[in-house]
Amino acid sequence: MSQENQPTNFYADCMKYFDSLRKQGKHDFAFEDEFFYTMPAISEKMISEK
């Protein structure tokens, strides 16, 4: 996988994971905390690469 697609793919995969959890009525608070903590850095990287 190319480096340029990693942040986008990671974000999309996380959204699928969160959607799957919601449909099952489950939560992964530890991962959600980590995801939302790192998301600003991932978003900034995605913007700066364009």
The pLDDT, as a whole number, for residue 18 is 92
The answer to whether 50 and 12 are in contact (CB under 8 A) is no
The pLDDT, as a whole number, for residue 24 is 97
The pLDDT, as a whole number, for residue 47 is 54
The pLDDT, as a whole number, for residue 30 is 93
Report domain extents, the chain.
Answer: 3-48
The pLDDT, as a whole number, for residue 10 is 82
Q: What is the pLDDT along the chain (50 residues), one digit of tens a residue?
A: 455 566 678 888 988 999 999 999 999 999 988 888 877 665 665 556 55
**Continuous H helices in 1-48:** 6-24, 29-48
CA distances from 35 to 28, 38, 40, 50 (A): 11, 5, 9, 22
